[in-house]
Amino acid sequence: MPAQIAATFAPMSSRRLLIFGGIALIAGGMLFGDIFAVFVLHQNGGQTGQTLLAATEAVRAGNALAVKQIFEHLGGLLEDHGTKVDAHVHMTDAGYLAILLALIQPYVALSPKRKKLLAGWFVSGGLFLPVGIFLIHYVGLAYSPFASIGWASVLADSAGVVLIVVLIGETWGLWMFLRDHRNAGEPALPTDRTWERRALMGGGIVLVLLGFLYGAWYAGFDLYRHEAREAGILKTMLDRAAAGQGGTVVAVADYGSLAAERAVKIAAHSHLIEFGLLAMLLSFVQPYVQLSDNWKRRWVIVLLIGSIVLPVFVLLELNLGLLAGGIADLGGLLVIVGLTGMLVGVLRYSGSLDAASGATR
């Protein structure tokens, strides 16, 4: 166990807390995303389509009261969907930020106690923010003194404030480091160039670039077309329902197809970039993964395969349907497995480090 690497991973240090917390938040966020995709996403989409169809039937019958009731139910379905997507995104993003903060700890000139306190706050904030978002749909406005903000939103917003305060604190520490060249009291990260680190960094940059190019393509050729099409479909749906003509079912189906097309294209773009970032971040963690070289490489390959399979097959859902959806979920699972394998390696490393320092004492 090289001493210079061990020195960068001291027991109960801010860096160790941020790396553990970060990987756990990312794995938790991805697991939640996979569960959401398998058990909630498609069912929610189907219910939304049925509800919209019921609304067009109410329009055809001239029943304005029924329309209002149906839309209250539709609002609930959309909130259910939106808060779950947001919980997934915010948990994984907080994990990414935690690992990023671990990277810059050598340049943060604050006392170890303060750095650890900030790290603890950040990981707690990163956990409570998605929990608060998830609860918004279930808690609603119960016992809330505000007109449109419930207690779950207050929890989420408070956790967001904690994250901002920590980031400002870290920026202050960086500023002190640069201004006074004060020692941050922590050695810089190891800079070895192993196969795993290069594969993760190179693969990560390629994934991010692909995500950018696809996002630019989507913004240039699809975004405005989708927006115009949505308004057009809604007007057609309403005109036909109000005139008592047929074709509302087709219009509702068109609306569903458009929503699905938009969702998979945005998901492909965001997942390519997020997995690219994840791969780049994990390249820095590799010196702390205590596994044999073969197993370290296996987890890297599993993670990179999952990172490309998920976005590609999410896109193919438009053509191949649920088969592609299943393969995409499998891709997500591969990323979680690779990530968990690395986390086990980091846990083994910290365990043996602590055991060695205990034996020395």
Task: Find the binding residues for other proteins in span 280-299 (CB under 8 A).
Answer: 280-281, 283-284
Q: Which of 25, 27, 37, 58 binds other proteins (CB under 8 A)?
A: 58
**Options 34-42, 191-199, 304-312, 349-357: segment touching other proteins (CB under 8 A):** 191-199
Task: Please state, in angstroms and rounded to a whole number, the distance separating the CA atoms of residues 230 and 117.
Answer: 48
* Minimum distance from residue 337 beta carbon to other proteins (Å): 23
Q: Collect all residues with Cβ–Cβ distance below 8 Å to 339 and sequence separation of at least 6.
A: 23, 26, 27, 30, 278, 282, 303
Asked if 235 is part of the footprint of other proteins (rule: CB under 8 A), the reply reads yes
Asked if 64 is part of the footprint of other proteins (rule: CB under 8 A), the reply reads yes
CA 193, 194, 195, 196 torsion-angle sign:
negative
Q: Are 151 and 136 in contact (CB under 8 A)?
A: no
Asked if 207 is part of the footprint of other proteins (rule: CB under 8 A), the reply reads no
Asked if 178 is part of the footprint of other proteins (rule: CB under 8 A), the reply reads yes
CB half-sphere exposure, 167, CA atoms < 13 A: 13
Q: Which of 77, 114, 144, 230 binds other proteins (CB under 8 A)?
A: 230
Q: Are 251 and 307 in contact (CB under 8 A)?
A: no
Task: Please state, in angstroms and rounded to a whole number, the distance separating the CA atoms of residues 159 and 333.
Answer: 28
Asked if 337 is part of the footprint of other proteins (rule: CB under 8 A), the reply reads no
Asked if 78 is part of the footprint of other proteins (rule: CB under 8 A), the reply reads yes
Q: Are 340 and 27 in contact (CB under 8 A)?
A: yes
Q: Which is nearer to other proteins, 39 or 182 (CB)?
A: 182
Q: Which is nearer to other proteins, 178 or 320 (CB)?
A: 178
**Residue 201, amino acid:** M
Q: Which of 139, 238, 312, 344 binds other proteins (CB under 8 A)?
A: 238
Asked if 171 is part of the footprint of other proteins (rule: CB under 8 A), the reply reads yes
Asked if 163 is part of the footprint of other proteins (rule: CB under 8 A), the reply reads yes
**Options 9-17, 89-97, 344-352, 353-361: segment touching other proteins (CB under 8 A):** 89-97
Task: Please state, in angstroms and rounded to a whole number, the distance separating the CA atoms of residues 191 and 66.
Answer: 65
Task: Please state, in angstroms and rounded to a whole number, the distance separating the CA atoms of residues 24 and 340.
Answer: 8
* Minimum distance from residue 87 beta carbon to other proteins (Å): 14
Task: Please state, in angstroms and rounded to a whole number, the distance separating the CA atoms of residues 260 and 266.
Answer: 10
**Options 59-67, 116-124, 323-331, 338-346: segment touching other proteins (CB under 8 A):** 59-67
Asked if 118 is part of the footprint of other proteins (rule: CB under 8 A), the reply reads no
* Minimum distance from residue 244 beta carbon to other proteins (Å): 10
Q: Collect all residues with Cβ–Cβ distance below 8 Å to 332 and sequence separation of at least 6.
A: 30, 33, 34, 37, 306, 310
Asked if 234 is part of the footprint of other proteins (rule: CB under 8 A), the reply reads yes
Of 138-157, binders to other proteins (CB under 8 A) are: 148-149, 153, 156-157
Task: Please state, in angstroms and rounded to a whole number, the distance separating the CA atoms of residues 65 and 70.
Answer: 9
Q: Which of 5, 31, 38, 89 binds other proteins (CB under 8 A)?
A: 89
Task: Please state, in angstroms and rounded to a whole number, the distance separating the CA atoms of residues 304 and 289.
Answer: 17
Q: Which of 46, 75, 321, 351 binds other proteins (CB under 8 A)?
A: 75
